[in-house]
């Protein structure tokens, strides 16, 4: 086994000579075999190794005896030892977490603290090949996305160093044989036999059946995990580029939007990963009840031919489709979206809530007109002018049309996204006559007359 582990370490460049390695040691067969294996390599690699044991206070005197056992072995082998206790039962109750999750949370907090304190390069953990199979099977049962099938990583960044798992190349049977050959009598945790936990059920009922068909299944699964990890790393990097190029973020509002047409030009593999990146951006913690069903809804939604629609995601997240635009926002955050009504200062500037500015002045010579400017004779309208958001039933006289047209219909014809309509700036005179849907439509006003006072409006869009 030691030879296998050495080759695995070298092939994956798990650590370098002269490194400081903290080893998570529970006293069980996996971690004791790992401790002994790295102890055997200590001189060849010029390693400083420290055994770190965490008593979770879950089995009373038994779990304390595990810590004492590891401490005694370390004294015997002349290995540095650190032992500590964490109160999992209290944490579990206070934070409403399951036993396994609470234990993991506190254990990794200790790992991080000691890694930083010791300025260690690596944290070595005793996950083995059978653990990898169990993890992949469990994720197949619980999930339906390729990201889940990366399995247990061989190494990953942690606490300024790297977590490494040198035993992923060997099976549980090989570990037991190694312990016997080296006269190691590991401690046993009875909870590992309780099939109430999903992992234990897979271990005792499913894994033996799989290994009947392929006794080297751990090697096959490890190869699969590494291949998927390599592919996922590349695809994720490409998806991040896609999101940066396509998605418009509004971090202060926890909102974002993108153009469907552009989003769909990318390969579907990238679209799917972009979807998950978007969710990770929007949610502080991705909710447990978010599943592949929501993913299917999302993609059916953006490929469906319809003008305006909305779907609901967990925790109040809304995904809104308006023509070729998708907008994601949280319902509670939208309650603050503001209407406004201001007088237009002439001459001067009128600043709107989103930072946009309406410039107004009296002029003798008219500027060239654009969709963001409007000119008229002062005696054509009732002053003062107002700039506001829309009201129910708003209508205006549109140049080139007889009669009035509903502002709502103008927005629809122009395919203005629904979320923009509520805050779209509208200029009216003091009688309420709509003169200008800024940047969109102008009222049917007579051409400014010579020798009369002229008003020039110019709209400067804000960045909010």
As a whole number, mean pLDDT of residues 418-446 equals 88
**What is residue 193's predicted lDDT score, i.e. its pLDDT?**
62
- Specify the range with the lowest mean pLDDT, choosing from 67-71, 176-180, 283-287: 283-287
Stretch 257-281: mean pLDDT: 95
Q: In whole angstroms, how far apart are CA 240 and each of 102, 144, 150, 246, 258?
A: 32, 21, 18, 10, 14
Stretch 157-163: mean pLDDT? 95
d(CA 149, CA 137): 9
The length of the chain in residues reads 464
Contact 46, 56 (CB under 8 A): no
Which range has the worst mean pLDDT, 24-28, 79-83, 336-340, 421-425? 336-340
pLDDT over 70 at 338, yes or no: no
* pLDDT of 396: 92
pLDDT of 251 over the 80 cut: no
Annotated binding-site residue numbers for ATP: 26-31
Look at 155 and 149; give whichever has higher pLDDT: 155
Q: Which of 67-76, 187-196, 347-356 has the highest mean pLDDT?
A: 67-76
Instruction: Count CB-CB contacts under 10 A for residue 279.
Output: 18
213 HSE (CA, 13 A, CB side) = 6
The pLDDT tens digits of the residues spanning 388-415 come to: 999 888 999 887 777 889 999 999 888 8
Note whether 352 and 339 are within 8 A (CB): no
**Region of poorest pLDDT, from 103-117, 133-147, 240-254, 385-399:** 133-147
- What is the mean predicted confidence (pLDDT) over 213-238? 91
Is 36 a residue whose pLDDT tops 60? yes
pLDDT at 334 over 70: no
List the binding residues. 26-31
Q: 21-30, 102-111, 186-195, 279-288 — which is least confidently predicted?
A: 186-195
Burial of 27 (0-12, 13-18, 19+ CB in 10 A): buried
Whole-number Å distance between alpha carbons of 24 and 8? 19
Query: How sure is the predictor about 272, in pLDDT bands with cuts at 50, 70 and 90?
Result: very high
Range from 108-117, 141-150, 407-416 carrying the lowest mean pLDDT: 141-150
Strand partners, 458: 359, 373
| Pair of tokens at residue 176 | 């037991």
* Domain 254-334, architecture per CATH: 2-Layer Sandwich (3.30)
For residue 332, pLDDT over 70 is answered with: no
pLDDT digit string, tens, across residues 281-328: 998 888 878 888 888 889 988 887 766 788 888 888 989 888 888 999
Contact 57, 63 (CB under 8 A): yes
Cα 409 versus chain centre, distance: 38
Residue 421: predicted pLDDT: 87
Q: Rounded to whole angstroms, how far apart are CA atoms 186 and 286?
A: 39
> Would you state the pLDDT for residue 72?
97
The pLDDT value given to residue 196:
56
pLDDT at 434: 93
Which CATH number describes the domain made up of 2-230? 3.40.50.620
Residue carrying structure tokens 């140049």: 399
pLDDT in tens, 120-137: 999 999 999 999 999 888
Whole-angstrom distance, CA of residue 433 vs CA of residue 291: 50
All structural domains of the chain with their residue ranges: 2-230, 254-334, 341-460
The span from the CA of 396 to the CA of 417, in Å, is 20
> 3-class DSSP state for residue 340?
coil
pLDDT at 129: 94
Which pLDDT score is estimated for 377?
Answer: 86
Q: What is the pLDDT of residue 155?
A: 95
Just give the CATH number of 341-460.
3.50.40.10
On average, the pLDDT of the chain sits at 89
DSSP 205: I
Of 87-91, 136-140, 145-149, 199-203, minimum mean pLDDT range: 145-149
């Amino acid at each position: 086994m030691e030879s296998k582990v050495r080759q695995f370490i070298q092939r994956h460049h798990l650590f370098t000579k002269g490194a400081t390695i903290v080893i998570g040691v529970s006293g069980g067969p996996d971690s004791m075999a790992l401790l002994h294996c790295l102890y055997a390599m200590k001189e060849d690699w010029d390693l400083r190794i420290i055994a770190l044991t965490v008593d979770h206070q879950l089995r009373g005197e038994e779990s304390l005896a595990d810590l004492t056992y590891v401490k005694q072995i370390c004294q015997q082998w002349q290995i540095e030892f650190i032992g500590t206790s964490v109160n999992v039962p209290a944490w579990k109750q206070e934070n409403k977490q399951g036993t396994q999750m609470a234990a993991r949370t506190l254990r990794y907090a200790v790992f991080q603290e000691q890694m930083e304190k010791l300025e260690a390069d690596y944290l070595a953990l005793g996950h083995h090949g059978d653990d990898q199979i169990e993890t992949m099977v469990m994720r197949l049962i619980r999930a339906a996305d390729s990201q889940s099938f990366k399995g247990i990583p061989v190494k990953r960044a942690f606490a300024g160093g790297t977590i490494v798992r040198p035993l992923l190349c060997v099976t549980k049977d090989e570990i037991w044989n190694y312990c016997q050959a080296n006269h190691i009598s590991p401690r046993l945790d009875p909870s590992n036999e309780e099939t109430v936990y999903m992992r234990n059920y897979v271990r005792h009922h499913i894994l033996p059946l799989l290994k009947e068909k392929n006794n080297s299944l751990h090697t096959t699964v490890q190869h699969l995990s590494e291949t998927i990890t390599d592919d996922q790393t590349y695809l994720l990097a490409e998806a991040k580029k896609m999101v940066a190029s396509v998605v418009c973020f509004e971090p202060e509002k926890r909102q974002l939007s993108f153009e469907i047409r552009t989003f769909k030009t990318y390969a579907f593999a990238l679209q799917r990963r972009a979807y998950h990146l978007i969710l990770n951006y929007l949610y502080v913690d991705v909710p447990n009840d978010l599943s592949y069903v929501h993913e299917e809804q999302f993609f059916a939604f953006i490929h469906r031919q319809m003008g305006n629609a909305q779907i609901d995601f967990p925790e109040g997240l809304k995904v809104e489709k308006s023509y070729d635009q998708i907008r994601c926002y949280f319902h509670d955050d939208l309650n603050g979206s503001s209407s406004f009504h201001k007088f237009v200062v002439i001459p001067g500037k009128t600043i709107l809530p989103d930072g946009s500015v309406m410039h107004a002045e009296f002029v003798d010579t008219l500027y060239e007109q654009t969709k963001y400017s409007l000119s008229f004779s002062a005696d054509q309208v009732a002053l003062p002018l107002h700039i506001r958001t829309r009201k129910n039933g708003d209508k205006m006289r549109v140049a080139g049309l007889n009669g009035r047209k509903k502002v709502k219909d103008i927005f629809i014809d122009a395919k203005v996204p629904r979320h923009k309509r509520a805050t779209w700036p509208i200029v009216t005179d003091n009688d309420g006559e709509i003169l200008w849907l800024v940047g969109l439509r102008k009222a049917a006003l007579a051409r400014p007359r010579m020798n009369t006072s002229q008003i020039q409006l110019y709209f400067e869009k804000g960045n909010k």
